[in-house]
């Protein structure tokens, strides 16, 4: 019919959908990052109530319409990590049942990311968390510096694993005056790749500490270490003996690379239990390093970590605000924070506008 013209763009306006940003956190200090991101994007934070009832159940009440909107749920991990996850799941599910067009989770630190390998009679917990989030209705995830990049494969939705290293590199160049006399240190061979990435970008040398009493994670990666008990050999032909794996033995501490008369910058992705960092700092001091910095993306710094740092040979600990650590900073003035809300807000803006994300991943190789 010639009288009925084609649909004009304004007739389709109801599908365009706005942008709504929620913080799914009942803890005030954890909402700080959400406020910063909303401020940078020039939008108000969405109205929502997240609280624990008297019986410790989590209740979420969204107080504005999300129908047909692009919803971004920002969740930072507080001390009570399990409540954090539950708040996130309930919030996402509430948005899904309220007909949101898309639901993007912004989890700068992905909880349980250290439990991403199979242990003896254990489970890969980060796969379980990923499945729960997808099941709740998440359509996209933005996170930072996953403990292992392969965790992205646990999701059946797109995952953007942003990097905090540009902010930490900028801090080194601007806040450490004689950084040209620095050496990037890996406190164990497992973090050597990360140290190499920093060293090559800053055109500095690298040192690796080897032989410390490493934690259980790198020692017993999975259940395949356990040899079959002697009884089972009855089933096998006597002449077919399964060779035993020789148990590992740590050599005495050695530092591969020269740190004498240098500034030592220890780099890692998570700083939580600080014993290994403190021990590494002692070793580097003995080898002649005159200043020691620790750089990490996620500053979990649980229990007595701030006190141990304060009493140690470490001069400064630099972490980003992926996890709120205001209390730890009051206990230990050596802890410094780098703000990464800029890259998160830019990621949200690009996803909402349907722009390419590759700009945020420029110069990032397969190994970074």
- Rounded-to-integer distance, Cα 115 and Cα 122, Å: 9
Summarised one tens digit per residue, pLDDT across range 313-326 is 999 999 999 999 88
In contact, 299 and 317? CB cutoff 8 Å: yes
144: Cβ–Cβ under 8 A, 6 or more apart, which residues?
108, 109, 161, 162, 163, 164, 297, 298, 320, 322, 340, 344
- Rounded-to-integer distance, Cα 238 and Cα 31, Å: 65
How far is CA 305 from its chain centroid?
18
How far is CA 17 from its chain centroid?
30
- Long-range contacts at 240-249 (CB < 8 A, ≥ 24 apart): 248/219
In contact, 25 and 52? CB cutoff 8 Å: no
- Helices 192-202, 165-175: inter-axial angle, 10-degree rounding: 50
Summarised one tens digit per residue, pLDDT across range 44-64 is 999 999 999 999 999 999 999
Q: Using alpha carbons, select from 282, 279, 331, 280 the residue that is nearest to residue 302.
A: 331
Low-confidence spans in the chain with pLDDT less than 50 = 2, 4-5, 7-16, 214, 233
- Long-range contacts at 170-174 (CB < 8 A, ≥ 24 apart): 171/295, 171/318, 171/336, 171/338, 172/202, 172/265, 172/293, 172/295, 173/202
Domains of the chain (ranges, CATH numbers): 19-162 (3.40.50.2020), 166-212+253-338 (3.40.50.2020)
DSSP state of 322: T
3-state secondary structure of 167: helix
Query: What's the confidence (pLDDT) of residue 340?
Result: 94
Tell me the DSSP string of 172-219: HHHH-TTGGGEEEEESSGGGHHHHHHHHHHHT-EEEEEE-S---HHHH
């Amino acid at each position: 019919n010639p009288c009925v013209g084609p649909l004009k763009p304004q007739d389709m306006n109801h599908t365009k959908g706005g942008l709504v940003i929620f913080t799914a956190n009942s803890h005030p200090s954890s909402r700080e990052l959400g406020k910063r991101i909303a401020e940078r994007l020039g939008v108000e934070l969405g109205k929502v109530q997240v609280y624990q009832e008297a019986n410790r159940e989590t209740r979420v009440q969204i107080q504005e319409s999300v129908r047909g909107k692009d919803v971004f749920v920002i969740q930072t991990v507080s001390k009570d990590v399990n409540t954090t996850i539950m708040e996130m799941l309930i919030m996402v599910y509430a948005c899904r049942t309220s007909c949101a067009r898309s639901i993007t989770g912004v989890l700068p630190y992905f909880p349980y990311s250290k439990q991403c390998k199979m242990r003896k009679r254990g489970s890969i917990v980060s796969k379980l968390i990923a499945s729960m989030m997808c099941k709740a209705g998440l359509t996209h995830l933005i996170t930072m510096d996953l403990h292992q990049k392969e965790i992205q494969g646990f999701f059946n939705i797109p995952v953007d694993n942003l990097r905090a290293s540009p902010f930490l590199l900028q801090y080194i160049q601007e806040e450490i005056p004689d950084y040209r006399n620095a050496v990037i240190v890996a406190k164990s061979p497992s973090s050597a790749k990360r140290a190499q990435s920093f060293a090559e970008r800053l055109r500095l040398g690298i040192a690796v500490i080897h032989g410390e009493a490493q934690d259980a994670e790198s020692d017993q990666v999975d259940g395949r270490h356990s040899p079959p008990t002697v009884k089972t050999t009855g089933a096998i032909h006597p002449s077919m003996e399964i060779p035993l794996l020789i148990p590992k033995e740590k050599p005495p501490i050695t530092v591969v690379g020269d740190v004498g008369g240098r500034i030592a910058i220890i780099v890692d992705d998570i700083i939580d239990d600080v014993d290994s960092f403190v021990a590494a700092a002692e070793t580097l001091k003995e080898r002649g390093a005159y200043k020691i910095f620790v750089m990490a993306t996620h500053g979990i710094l649980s229990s007595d970590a701030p006190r141990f740092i304060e009493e140690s040979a470490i001069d400064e600990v630099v972490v980003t605000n992926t996890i709120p650590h205001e209390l730890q900073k009051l206990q230990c003035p050596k802890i410094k924070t780098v703000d990464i809300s800029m890259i998160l807000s830019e990621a949200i803006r690009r996803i909402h506008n349907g722009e390419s994300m590759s700009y945020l991943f420029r110069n990032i190789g397969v190994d970074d």
